[in-house]
Structure 1
Amino acid sequence: MTSPPDKPPRRRALVALSGDISGAFGDLGTLLPYVIAGIGLGVLAPGAVFLGFAAGYLLVALVYRAPIAVQPMKALGAVILTGGLTAAETALAGALLGLVLLALSATPLLGRAARALPQSVVTGLQAGLGLMLAALALEMMATGWWLALPAMAVLALSWVWPRGPWALGVILAAIWLAPTDGQPLVSETAIIADGLSLTAVAGGMLAQLPLTLLNAVVVATAVSHSLFPDAVPRVSERRLAASSGLLNLVLAPLGAMPMCHGAGGLAAHYRFGARSWVAPLTMAAACALAALQGEAVVAWLAAIPVPVVGALLAFAGVELMLGKRLFDARPDCRPVIAVTAVATLFGSVLIGLTAGLASEQLRRHLVRRRARGTPHDRG
């Protein structure tokens, strides 16, 4: 006796829903350290921060209809966490970055610049960012391998059943079973005095803008096109710059953390099962609920041990490193990818871009030389 014809579609729908809900929380490995530390230092207020991410993910669900990540701006976040920016300076830097991104998105120059970047360099930048995430993840997991390894084992099931609720299960278990002697994401808090320094604001913006344009616009577009082909008509460099700019221009002055669409977060959402608009909508609802709970949610999230967050981050890094274009690249392009990735890992995104462009020029020169043939070749 055959099964009713409506069962397979229902089963597929349940599997899809499970993956989207799990994948919605796949990027917490990059979100949590910045958000909790920023709140713990007294620079950010939990309600405004989580409302900002809720608005960001709602915008993603409505505009892109795909699991495009909404992440803290990492370079600016690092400046915040090292005491370089006060609350007022963070709001001003975020709003000004938003204004710059909106201005760039309104011109065709951004798209042209992105298309001018060689694919080998973009792939190398993507791999280098993945290596950076993996290196940070190893440092975090090293604080407690006895917690990290079980979390990694559960998360590894995503290679068998990509749309299973693995990330969500690990997060809930970590909150429930968090040991009292575990190392929290924030070990101590200190209130940073408010104030305004235009020099500090300019420094934070200069550190962040190149990273946003490369990682959250150019590379994020390339990754989204590879992972979500159906969303290609809706995702472009100019649109990602515009949505990032709008979010920061409107929300940063209200206390939200400066945000962008990180390529690593996009890979993390995908790795743990996110495939549709349901994932960002789920994350928007979760962030809105967190905003209502305020300090209580911060306490729950801070209870997640650092090694578990590191395990989530490790899978995001691996997903970013092992992109499809890495394996599809021509043999003569692979040295360029390697040089770009290594320079990004040990230097920065800008250093990786410079090294990648130089090595790509060398590769093209050698290809042209071989095509023409040297005088010795001609005999």
Structure 2
Amino acid sequence: MTSSSEKRSRRQTLWALGGDVSGAFGDLGTLLPYVIAATTLGVLAPRPVFIGFAVGYLLVALLYRAPIAVQPMKALGAMMLVGGLTAGETALVGTTLGLILLALAATPYLGRAARALPQSVTVGLQAGLGLMLVALALKMMATGWWLALPAMAALGLSWLWPRGPWALLVVVAALWLAPGDTLPAAMNATPVGDGISPTSVAGGVLAQLPLTLLNAVVVAAAVSHSLFPGAAARVSERRLAASSGLLNLVLTPLGAMPMCHGAGGMAAHYRFGARSLIAPLTMAAACALAALQGDAIVAWLVAIPTPVVGALLAFAGIELTLSKRLFDARPDCRPVIGATAVATLIGGALVGLVAGLASERLRRHLVHRRATGVPPRRG
């Protein structure tokens, strides 16, 4: 006869497994908008894109053994969607970024630079990036509040039972309620625009590199250490740069979308229950199915209503903004965090970094004056 403790342990194991499976799909709010748009516009073909994410999540599971996100590079995704990059240019930009990231990972300077960045600035960047996700999510949810609000209510259960399968249930319900639209013709199209402009390539690299180094390396390492302390020894700035660089160097020439390890994606995976390597393995299997089973799987993803994707994205943004380090910050650091977050929301990660460093320098100057008994000058 099975004892009560064994039954309880079995239920806890099943509940944890359900959380990992649910959390695996928690980052769809970030992944789907870029992937669906790029493939339906014919810039990239769906199969190599999904194969790329499958390989990326498999690498994450093997290398980090934790729910480290694999996301589209947002600046490049935006440039693709507005016609700023062709398929050939996207591949060349991804390859170039891969080489740069691998070169940086091979030196000790990346880790030193990350450790030199004040924690108040890092927390502010994280909060600002979270607010950017929330702002985008609100726009997406505004296209259909009648779908967004029930999705938000269901996802809100994650605050009570963090490892419940809420994200998975919302996605399944959205697919069940979605109209049976046919697959857009562009999904079957050959990628268009193979011309390469050196100006466009250089612009893509310069637009994406600072964001990747800040959000997908420095902030991502800090977020992973906070959310997944058991994997802290395996996750570092240099390793994140190396794995991102390897993925882009090998896969973008084959038609994959440029990828990185976004901090917001880690927050989304964690919010909806992901805690172990089961989550990235689940996502790798789902992406492989989407690639190998053809247009049917891709059509299901396209059928997920935009307001539901926005609700998933909103929770990722909230999780990223309201970090533990935000509440643990000293009172004199909070103005720096706020200034960095607002500047990031308005001008992006690079503007936020500059504003944060300037604010932190001013804070230290004022603290030093108080400590030495010299009052700060009044303006």
Q: TM-score range by the shorter chain?
A: over 0.9
- Residues 124, 339 of structure 2: 8 Å contact kept: yes
1:135 aligns with 2:146: no
Question: Which has the higher mean CA deviation after the structures are superposed, 235-244 or 290-299?
Answer: 290-299
Shift of 1:15: 1.0
**Structure 2: which 5+ residue stretches go unaligned?**
none
**Which residue is equivalent to 2:281?**
281
Shift of 1:317: 0.3
**Structure 1: which 5+ residue stretches go unaligned?**
none
Shift of 1:7: 1.8
**Which residue is equivalent to 1:300?**
300
Name the amino acid aligned to 1:342.
V
Matches within 5 A, 1:34-183: 34-179=34-179
**Which residue is equivalent to 1:226?**
226
**Which residue is equivalent to 1:337?**
337
- Residues 40, 190 of structure 1: 8 Å contact kept: no
State how far apart, in whole Å, the 1-side matches of 2:92 and 2:135 are: 31
Determine helix, strand or coil for the equivalent of 2:231.
helix
Shift of 1:209: 0.3
Determine helix, strand or coil for the equivalent of 2:133.
helix
1:322 aligns with 2:322: yes
1:193 aligns with 2:193: yes
- Residues 88, 194 of structure 2: 8 Å contact kept: yes
Shift of 1:119: 0.1
- Residues 128, 321 of structure 2: 8 Å contact kept: yes
Name the amino acid aligned to 2:26.
G
State how far apart, in whole Å, the 2-side matches of 1:113 and 1:254 are: 32
Shift of 1:375: 7.3
**Which residue is equivalent to 1:214?**
214
- Between the two proteins, the alignment pairs up a number of residues equal to 372
State how far apart, in whole Å, the 2-side matches of 1:38 and 1:175 are: 21
> What TM-score does the superposition give when structure 2 sets the normalisation length?
0.95
Structural RMSD (CA): 1.9
- Residues 58, 284 of structure 1: 8 Å contact kept: yes
Give structure 1 regions of 4+ aligned residues with deviation exceeding 4 angstroms: none
- Residues 23, 272 of structure 1: 8 Å contact kept: yes
Name the amino acid aligned to 2:107.
T
State how far apart, in whole Å, the 1-side matches of 2:7 and 2:294 are: 42
Describe the superposition over 1:326-362 as per-residue Cα deviations: whole angstroms up to 9, x where unpaired: 0000000000000000000011111100000000000
State how far apart, in whole Å, the 2-side matches of 1:190 and 1:288 are: 20
> What TM-score does the superposition give when structure 1 sets the normalisation length?
0.95
Name the amino acid aligned to 2:134.
A
Name the amino acid aligned to 1:339.
A
Describe the superposition over 1:165-186 as per-residue Cα deviations: whole angstroms up to 9, x where unpaired: 11011111111101479xx9x9
State how far apart, in whole Å, the 1-side matches of 2:363 and 2:126 are: 19
State how far apart, in whole Å, the 2-side matches of 1:375 and 1:156 are: 47
State how far apart, in whole Å, the 2-side matches of 1:120 and 1:42 are: 42
Percent identity between the aligned chains? 79
Describe the superposition over 1:293-313 as per-residue Cα deviations: whole angstroms up to 9, x where unpaired: 232222211111110000000
Shift of 1:8: 2.3
Shift of 1:107: 0.1
Name the amino acid aligned to 1:341.
A
1:347 aligns with 2:347: yes
Determine helix, strand or coil for the equivalent of 1:107.
coil
